[in-house]
């Protein structure tokens, strides 16, 4: 670390910008992805895809870089998801926070685990969280909502996590990597 006066100089503006951009990447990607997935592509199942994307991002970043996804940002993303997805305001915010909390609590065991295990656990979490979303919405609407979107979300979670994780790992190592200075 202490190799000379060059390292001890206060970081330049560009350096600070770079560090900030790297720090902000996970949150920005989450919000940007939610907005893009809200766009009218006319894909079937697009509505179910949005919460799955949010869950995958929160799970991945909480696992590998919790500092970049503070609780405030998770709550904000959840509120955005509620506003875009017509769910009761605050429901997904609470659910994403719960997911993040559980993930961070299990972090020490999960980070060294095999990918297959983290994938399976994410699928289980996604099933649980989407079931909770169904239960919460049924409760708030005071009517029994159909359960098939929960199953679809679980399927999406199982199918899409490896691909998304591959992209996020690449980002985690490349453009969003934290500089070790």
Partner 1 sequence: MIRLSVPFRQALSRLTFPVMLVVSLGFILIGRADQGFSDRLRAELDDVLAPAYMLVSGPIQAAEHGTGAIGHLFTLSAENTELRAENARLLQWQEVAMALEAQNNALKASMNYVPPATPTYSTGEVVADLGGVYARSVLVLVPPANGNPQSLVGAVAMDGRGVAGRVVEAGGRSARVLLITDLNSRVPVALGADGAPALMTGTNGPNPALLYWAPGQPPAEGAMVLTNSQGGAFPPGLPVGVVHYDAQNDPVVLPLANLDALRLLRLFSYPDNLPVLTPIPHTKPAATHSRKR
What's the CA gap between 98 and 104, in Å, rounded?
A: 10
CB of 143 to partner 1, least distance (A): 8
32 belongs to the binding site for partner 1 (CB under 8 A): no
39 belongs to the binding site for partner 1 (CB under 8 A): yes
DSSP class of residue 45 equals T
What's the CA gap between 58 and 74, in Å, rounded?
A: 7
User: Of the two residues 27 and 85, which places its CB atom closer to partner 1 in the complex?
Assistant: 85
CB of 157 to partner 1, least distance (A): 13
List the interface residues with partner 1, window 143-162 (CB under 8 A).
143, 145-146, 149, 153
111 belongs to the binding site for partner 1 (CB under 8 A): no
Burial 116-125 (b: 16+ CB within 10 A, else e): eebeebbbeb
CB of 93 to partner 1, least distance (A): 4
Long-range contacts at 168-173 (CB < 8 A, ≥ 24 apart): 168/57, 168/60, 168/61, 169/64, 171/25, 171/29, 172/64, 172/65
CB of 168 to partner 1, least distance (A): 22
List the interface residues with partner 1, window 63-92 (CB under 8 A).
70-72, 74-75, 78-80, 82-91
Whether residue 24 contacts residue 68, with contact meaning beta carbons closer than 8 Å, is answered with yes
For binding to partner 1 (CB under 8 A), which residues are involved?
Answer: 35, 38-42, 46-48, 51, 70-72, 74-75, 78-80, 82-91, 93-94, 97-98, 100-101, 133, 137, 140-141, 143, 145-146, 149, 153
């Amino acid at each position: 670390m202490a190799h000379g006066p060059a390292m001890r100089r206060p970081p330049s503006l560009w350096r600070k910008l770079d560090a900030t951009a790297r720090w902000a990447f996970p949150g920005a990607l989450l919000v940007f992805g939610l907005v893009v997935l809200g766009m009218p592509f006319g894909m079937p199942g697009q509505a179910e895809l949005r919460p799955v994307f949010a869950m995958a991002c929160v799970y991945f970043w909480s696992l590998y870089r919790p500092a970049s996804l503070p609780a405030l940002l998770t709550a904000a993303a959840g509120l955005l998801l509620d506003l875009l997805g017509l769910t009761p305001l605050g429901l997904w915010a609470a659910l994403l926070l719960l997911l993040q909390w559980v993930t961070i609590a299990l972090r020490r065991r999960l980070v060294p685990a095999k990918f297959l295990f983290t994938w399976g656990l994410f699928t289980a979490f996604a099933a649980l969280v989407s079931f909770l979303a169904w239960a919460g919405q049924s409760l708030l609407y005071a009517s029994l909502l159909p359960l098939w979107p929960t199953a679809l979300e679980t399927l999406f979670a199982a199918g899409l996590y490896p691909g998304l994780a591959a992209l996020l790992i690449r980002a985690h190592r490349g453009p969003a990597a934290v500089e070790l200075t």
